Structure formats: structure tokens, C-alpha cells
């Protein structure tokens, strides 16, 4: 009887080990597939610079704010402490004296056009622990404009913010001869202050980049 019990227990133990081994193998295979997909994705997509502020200059003409009793803003090209990216020497400094509900608009000094298929838009931002929100206005290939939130600036130091470009943003070429693109038309900052009175907010912007791939083109003729 004991031999029968021990035999059953051994059989159950072997089955359990076999199931765990099979699950572990499936997990390894799934992880392997994910790694392969990531490698393929990394090979297809690349990061390109849209604006690095090295040769463009921003002045007071590139910013605007709806002035409500003493609100003001300013920009300056800075060189003291650029973002930790290769060859970065110049970046944009922004300050705004405003309160919650105001909107600071930064108009790019040059067209920020993305002519390839874009997966993400990235921006290096130096936060000063203000809880204001940074966003961008993107014009898609159909001319529609969508506001996309980069994030709140409630941190200290340089940070790379990123926003995904969803299918809501039209960007594919419809015809071989008609090249279409998307464009960052404005950068917006919504100050956030606890006080009722305006307060100074500071932040800094360095490289604006995009994760892109070549657009898929239908070169196959169906006339056969």
C-alpha cells in the first residue's frame, strides 16, 4: 500500500515538474519572441533631430502670452548647462510670470517638419519643480491640428519627455507622387501656481527628436 502511495506521489511530482518546465519553456519562448520583435523594431526605427537649437535663435517674437494684469514672459538662448546629449551646446531658456489658467505659446523659429512615419516625439526638458504642463500642437498630413501633452514639469533637472503619435494623426502618403508630412506648429506651457497671484515659472528645452521609419510604399501593380 505504501509503495502504491509513494508511486502516486512520485507520479504527481513528475507531472508537476513537467508542467512547470513546460510553462517555463513557454515563458522563455515568449520572451525570445519579444526580444526579436524589439530588435527588428530597433532596426526599422531610428531617432532623428527635429530641432537642436544650435543654429536657430529664438527671440521675444517667438513667444506670446495672453496678458492678464502684469503677466509677462521671455526667452533666451543658453549655453551654461545643456542636456546630456552628444554635441549639445545651446538650448532654449523660457520664463513666464503668470498664474494658473494662462497659456504661454512658443512659435518655432523654423518649420519643425517630420517627413517620415513617426512613432514618438521626444523633447529634452529641464524642470524646476513647477507643476506646469508642457504640450505641443501637431498638424497632421490632412491639416488637422491636435494638442499632445508631453507632461508636467514637476521635477528637477534634465529629463527626456516623450509622447506617442497615435493613428489619430494622419501621416501616410496617399500616392507615390504626393509626399505628406506632420509638423510641430507650437509648443505650449500652462503654468500652475497655488497662489492667486502670478508667479515666475522657469524651464529649459534642448533637443527635440522623433522616432521614425521610412513610410511603406505600395509599389506592387495589380494590373496583370
Whether 100 is covered by a domain: the verdict is yes
In this structure, the answer to whether residues 107 and 127 fall within a common structural domain is: yes
pLDDT value of position 219: 66
Task: Classify residue 215 by its DSSP letter.
Answer: P
* Residue 67, number of CB atoms within 10 A of its CB: 11
| Cα 201 to Cα 59: distance, rounded to the nearest angstrom | 18
What SS3 state is found at 114? strand
Dig out the grid coordinates for 5 from the structure.
Answer: 502511495
Cα–Cα distance measured from residue 147 to residue 163, given in angstroms and rounded to the nearest whole number:
11
> What is the tally of structural domains in the chain?
2
pTM score, two decimals? Answer: 0.76
Which residue(s) pair with 183 in the sheet? Answer: 113, 139
pLDDT in 10s for each residue of the chain, 224 residues: 545 444 545 555 455 444 444 455 556 666 655 565 555 566 788 999 999 999 999 999 999 887 666 788 999 999 999 999 999 999 999 999 888 788 899 999 999 999 999 999 999 999 999 889 999 999 999 999 999 999 999 999 999 999 999 988 888 766 655 678 899 999 999 987 666 778 899 999 999 999 999 887 666 666 77
Q: Does residue 124 belong to any structural domain of this protein?
A: yes
Residue-wise DSSP of 35-104:
HHHHHHHHHH-EEEEEE-SSS----GGGEEE---SS-EEEEEEE-SS--SSTT---EEEEEEEE-TT--E
Instruction: List CB contacts of 48: < 8 A, sequence separation 6 or more.
Output: 116, 209, 210, 212
Q: Are residues 72 and 137 part of one domain?
A: yes
Q: Is 109 helix (H, G, I), strand (E, B) or coil?
A: coil
| CA dist., res. 180 & res. 169, Å (int) | 12
**Does one domain contain both 194 and 116?**
yes
Q: Is residue 111 part of a domain?
A: yes
CA–CA separation, 213 and 202 (whole Å)? 34
Distance CA 179, CA 166 (A): 19
Q: Which domain holds residue 6?
A: 1-44
Domain annotation covers residue 223 = no
**Same domain? 96 vs 148:** yes
> In CATH, what number is assigned to the domain containing residue 51?
2.60.120.260
- Structure-block grid coordinates of residue 205: 528645452
Contact criterion met (CB below 8 Å) for 77 and 114: no
Whether 57 and 12 share a structural domain: no
Q: What is the pLDDT of residue 35?
A: 61
Q: What is the DSSP letter of 178?
A: B
* Pair (38, 63) in one structural domain: no
| Residues 7, 21: Cα–Cα separation, whole Å | 21
Give the per-residue pLDDT at 170: 87
pLDDT at position 171 is 85
Same domain, 136 and 193: yes
Amino acid at each position: 500500500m505504501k509503495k502504491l502511495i509513494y508511486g502516486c506521489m512520485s507520479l504527481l511530482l513528475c507531472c508537476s515538474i513537467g508542467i512547470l518546465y513546460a510553462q517555463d519553456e513557454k515563458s522563455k519562448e515568449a520572451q525570445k519572441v519579444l526580444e526579436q520583435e524589439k530588435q527588428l523594431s530597433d532596426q526599422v526605427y531610428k531617432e532623428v533631430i527635429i530641432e537642436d537649437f544650435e543654429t536657430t535663435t529664438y527671440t521675444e517674437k517667438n513667444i506670446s502670452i495672453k496678458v492678464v494684469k502684469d503677466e509677462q514672459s521671455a526667452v533666451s538662448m543658453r549655453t551654461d548647462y545643456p542636456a546630456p546629449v552628444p554635441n549639445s551646446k545651446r538650448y532654449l531658456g523660457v520664463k513666464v510670470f503668470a498664474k494658473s489658467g494662462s497659456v504661454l505659446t512658443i512659435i518655432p523659429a523654423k518649420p519643425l517638419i517630420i517627413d517620415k512615419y513617426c512613432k514618438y516625439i521626444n523633447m529634452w526638458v529641464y524642470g524646476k519643480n513647477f507643476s506646469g504642463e508642457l504640450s505641443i500642437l501637431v498638424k497632421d498630413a490632412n491639416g488637422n491640428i491636435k494638442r499632445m501633452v508631453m507632461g508636467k514639469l514637476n521635477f528637477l533637472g534634465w529629463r527626456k519627455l516623450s509622447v506617442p503619435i497615435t493613428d489619430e494623426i494622419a501621416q501616410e502618403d496617399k500616392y507615390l507622387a504626393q509626399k505628406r508630412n506632420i509638423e510641430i506648429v507650437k509648443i505650449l506651457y500652462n503654468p500652475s501656481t497655488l497662489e492667486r497671484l502670478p508667479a515666475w515659472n522657469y524651464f529649459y528645452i534642448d533637443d527635440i527628436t522623433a522616432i521614425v521609419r521610412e513610410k511603406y510604399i505600395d509599389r506592387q501593380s495589380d494590373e496583370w
